[in-house]
Amino acid sequence: MLPASWSGWRRSRVSLTGPDGLRKQLTRTLIETALDEEMAEHLGYEKHGAAGKQTADSRNGVRPKTVLTETTGPVEVDVPRDREGTFEPVIVKERQRRLTGADEMVLSLYAKGLTTGEISAHFAEIYGASVSKETVSRITDRVLEEMAVWQNRPLDEVYAAIFIDAIVVKIRDWQVANRPIYAAIGVTLDREKDILGLWAGAGGEGAKFWMSVLTDIKNRGVKDTFFSFAGASGRVLEYSPYPYRVLPPGRPGPGQGQRRTP
| Measured distance between the N- and C-terminal CA atoms of the chain, rounded to whole angstroms | 36
Confidence grade of residue 222 (pLDDT, cut at 50, 70, 90)? very high
Q: Which residue has the higher pLDDT, 214 or 50?
A: 214
Give me the pLDDT at residue 16, please: 66
Tell me which DSSP letter residue 250 carries.
T
Give me the pLDDT at residue 241, please: 58
Q: What is the pTM of this model?
A: 0.72
Give me the pLDDT at residue 147, please: 83
- Amino acid occupying residue 254: P
Q: What share of the chain is helix, strand, coil (3-state, %, to 5)?
A: 35, 25, 40
Q: Residues of the chain with pLDDT > 70: what percent?
A: 75
Give me the pLDDT at residue 8, please: 43
Q: How many CA atoms lie within 13 A of 107 on its CB side?
A: 25
Give me the pLDDT at residue 158, please: 93
Count of C-beta atoms within a 10 Å radius of residue 117? 11
Give the Cα separation of 186 and 165 in Å (integer). Answer: 12
Q: Which residue has the higher pLDDT, 208 or 249?
A: 208
Give me the pLDDT at residue 2, please: 45
Torsion of CA 117, 123, 126, 130, to 10 degrees: -110
Angle subtended by helix axes 133-151 and 116-127, to nearest 10: 130
Statement: residue 39 has pLDDT above 70: yes
Least confident of 2-16, 135-149, 153-167, 182-196: 2-16
Q: Which of the residue ranges 23-32, 83-92, 158-167, 244-253 has the most confident prediction, judged by mean pLDDT?
A: 83-92
Statement: residue 255 has pLDDT above 80: no
* Alpha helices (H) along 67-196: 102-109, 116-127, 133-151
Three-class SS state of 115: coil
